[in-house]
Amino acid sequence: MPASVNVDDFTAAQTPDFEAMRHRVIDGTPYQPFFGRRNDLDEHLALLRREFVGQPEIKFAHAAMTVLLRRKIATETVYRHYRSLWAEHADLLLEILDSRWLVSACDTISDQSDDPEEARAAILLTLFVNTVKLFETERLMEGPVRQPAAPLGQRRQLHDGLSSFMVGVGDMIANLLHRLDRTLTHTRLVDRIGRQLVSRTLASDTVFSRFGRRQSCHTWPPHLPVAPIRPRPAPPARAQGQMPPPPPPQYVLLNDTARLGGGFHLGTLYACHSIRSHLAARGLQEAGWANDLAGLRALLAQGPTPPQLLVLNGEGTLHHCAPRARALLEACRFGQSLGMKVAVLNTVWEANDDAMAALLRLADVVHVRDSRSLAALPPDFPARVTPDASIPIFREVARSGSFPAAVQAVAVMDNVVPEAAAALLRFAEAGALPYFAMPGAALGRIRQDASDRSGPVWPRLLQITDLMAARAWVTGRFHGMIGALCAGRPVCALRSNTAKIEGLLEDFGLTAECLLGADWLSKPAAAQRLEVERCLELQQDPAFVARRAQVLQTACDRIGQMFDQVAALVGNPPPDRLGKADVTS
């Protein structure tokens, strides 16, 4: 979306394309939080947009429509679009909107809903969160945080017949949460928002969690049960409008992993955004995307002639002879049979057979993500090593943004391997550390695990603001590690389902400082903590910091060169000769 916001996008009769916004990342300006109000609407929206840089555009759409509704601009139309947004994308919005904007949603529903029951429930949720907000604000006004006071030995009178809560043994909070759980459904929108708001209040540093740590009986979990995130079927592939004849050269993106993940996974969202941004900077136009051969056939049937280029985003797909990996390479062969140039890039390559290597050899350009993947190819294979395409986006957002100061000393991310994800969750629980997952499906499983064991940590979906809110990370996620490195955060990484984490760290020369040992999972908790502390300490060395910065800059340069080579397949020069800025600059 351009820096100047078009209000007509939200006031026109036609519903905005929220599906496209779900998978687009806002860029172009540095991240900057925004509070307050500007009388000029365009200025207000432009400043508000900066708060969502590096994040899915759908978050800004929600905020922009909120502003229009508060200002009573095309209220009926905008609220209809607003409810369409929630009806179609509540699964994502419930996870990626922070409490500020979820409370704002409650305010909007209270103001605009024609269902009195829904409006009443919404304003009561606002009352709940804002009451906690007022209490925590007064606590901050009292000065530096003091040592926790001892619980009251006996009940003390408050106002109008109320008495103090008996911390440690009182049952009021447990009973309250039981009633909320019984009352808030898993289907009505305002109730689903309420479950998120209550859970985040319980899991954060609030009076609820502080009292909860002191309870000896009548305890409560750090969340209300929430409905699991269901796998969301990817929408059908579609062209970007009518395919015009060249120029400009057109391409199809094959394996849009952001859409496969429903837009939940920050890493795949950034990787696909990076591919599109680099190719656009080189004058290439996206004709559409597909995630399998059937989708590719359907897409190509919409135009008189195939686009000139097919770009396969391999990411973590091409390994262990997976059926889907083979199917994607077959789709590349189909595209080539129609005269399309084929570029396979941003890919792992591990434990694949000779038949798959033969299919890969048909591509005009192949770039694997690390030297281990190159070594897994036949010795004479004409491939190049280029680091993950998400690096320039993570690096630019983290370096340019004015993020709030980090509030967490260490935070933890999950792992694609369930056993490792469970071990990382236990590590977070033992240290009362925040725990985040990247894909939505994994988040649901991990929450269920924590709930079954009455664990003290409530897992959350990782956003770029979460990444910046911790001073250090322990992660089993490849893109989580990349994000932490680009943010200048010390990071301890655990091996994944392929050698992608080891491969990148080896190529960067950061293995000794960043990679946890293969036996870390089986170590006692105290030994795990010591190893993490050792890794984090090594990364405080100024020489390491300088080396990390240099390898990331080199990675961005090489990623730009890779896209120069891809664009050259259809005769387009690098962006400096087009008079356009490269996104890596």
DSSP secondary structure, 90-105, as one string: HHHHHHHS-HHHHHHH
pLDDT of residue 233: 64
Give the single-character DSSP code of 436: E
Measure the CA–CA gap between 4 and 43, rounded to whole angstroms.
9
Alpha carbons 583 and 560: distance in angstroms, whole number: 8
DSSP 414: E
Amino acid identity for residue 453 in this structure: R
- Per-residue pLDDT band for 230 (boundaries 50, 70, 90) equals confident
Q: Which two tokens stand for residue 162?
A: 């109320």
User: Contact at 8 Å (CB) between 406 and 468?
Assistant: yes
Task: Please tell us whether the domain made up of 394-548 is placed in CATH 3.40.50.2000.
Answer: yes
Distance separating alpha carbons of residues 413 and 519, to the nearest angstrom: 18
Query: Hey, is 531 helix, strand or coil?
Result: helix
**How far is it, in rounded angstroms, from Cα 67 to Cα 9?**
14
The first and second tokens of residue 185, run together, are: 């459904």
Contact, 351 vs 321, CB < 8 A? yes
Q: What is the residue-averaged pLDDT of the chain?
A: 93
Q: Do domains 250-392 and 394-548 have the same CATH topology?
A: yes
CA of 467: how far to CAs of 85, 135, 202, in Å?
26, 27, 21
At residue 75, φ and ψ (nearest 5 deg) are -55, -45
Tens-place pLDDT, residues 447-500: 988 888 888 899 999 999 999 999 999 999 999 999 999 999 999 999 999 999
Q: What is the 3-state secondary structure (H, E, C) of 471-502?
A: CCEEEECHHHHHHHHHCCCCEEECCCCCCHHH
Instruction: Give the residue-averaged pLDDT of 148-177.
Output: 90
Q: Would you tell me how many other CB atoms lie within 10 Å of the CB of residue 2?
A: 8
Q: How many residues does the chain have?
A: 585
Look at 576 and 291; give whichever has higher pLDDT. Answer: 291
Letter for the amino acid at 433? L
**How far apart, in whole angstroms, are the C-alpha atoms of residue 396 and residue 553?**
11
Per-residue DSSP letters for 498-528? Answer: STHHHHHHHHHT-HHHHBPPTTGGGS-HHHH
Residue 3 has pLDDT above 60, yes or no: no
**Under 8 Å CB-to-CB from 267, ≥6 apart: which residues?**
390, 438, 477, 478, 479, 480, 482, 483
pLDDT band for 150, please (50, 70, 90 cuts): confident
| pLDDT number for residue 151 | 78
Q: How many helices (H) and strands (E) does the chain have?
A: 26, 11
| Cα angle value 335/341/343 (rounded, 5°) | 95
For residue 227, name the pLDDT band (cuts at 50, 70, 90). Answer: confident
| Predicted local confidence at residue 234, as pLDDT | 62
Query: Could you tell me the residue ranges of all domains in the chain?
Result: 7-141+168-213, 250-392, 394-548
Give me the pLDDT at residue 577, please: 41
What is the predicted pLDDT for the residue at 178?
A: 96
SS3 call for 68: helix
Q: Please tell me the distance from the alpha carbon of residue 79 to that of residue 77, in angstroms, as a whole number.
A: 6
Report yes or no: 397 and 387 within 8 Å, Cβ to Cβ: no
pLDDT, residue 473, reads: 98
- % residues pLDDT > 70 (the chain): 94
Nearest to 423 by CA among 533, 525, 535: 525
> What's residue 408's pLDDT?
95
C-alpha–C-alpha distance, residues 367 and 310, integer Å: 14
Q: Which pLDDT belongs to residue 132?
A: 97
What CA–CA distance (Å, rounded) separates 323 from 185?
40
Q: Is the pLDDT of residue 315 over 50?
A: yes
CB contact set of 154 (below 8 Å; sequence gap of 6+): none
**What is the per-residue pLDDT across 117-132, written as a single tens digit (0 to 9) for each?**
999 999 999 999 999 9
Comparing C-alpha atoms, which of 209, 200, 205, 263 is closest to residue 231? Answer: 263
Q: In what order do the strands lie in the sheet with 341-347?
A: 285-290, 250-254, 309-315, 341-347, 365-368, 384-385
Before 248, cis peptide (omega within 30)?
A: yes
For residue 549, with 0-12 CB atoms within 10 Å meaning exposed, 13-18 middle and 19 or more buried, which class applies? middle
pLDDT interval class at 576 (50, 70, 90): low
Distance between alpha carbon 130 and the CA centroid of its chain, in Å?
27
3-state SS class at 35 = coil
Is pLDDT of 585 > 60? no
> Is the bond preceding residue 247 a cis peptide, omega within 30 degrees?
yes
How many other C-beta atoms can be found within 10 angstroms of the C-beta atom of residue 400?
A: 14
Q: How confident is the model at residue 579 (pLDDT cuts 50, 70, 90)?
A: very low
| β-strand pairing of 285-290 with 250-254 | parallel
Fold designation for 250-392? Rossmann fold (3.40.50)
Average pLDDT over residues 356-370: 98
CB within 8 A of 499, min separation 6: which ones?
350, 370, 372
- From residue 186, give the alpha-carbon distance in Å to each of 182, 189, 228: 10, 8, 10
User: Which are the contacts of 298, defined by CB distance < 8 A and separation ≥ 6?
Assistant: 236, 237, 290
Higher pLDDT, 356 or 239: 356
Q: State both tokens at 436.
A: 């985040």
**Using one digit for the tens of pLDDT, what is the confidence trace for 253-272?**
999 999 998 999 999 999 99
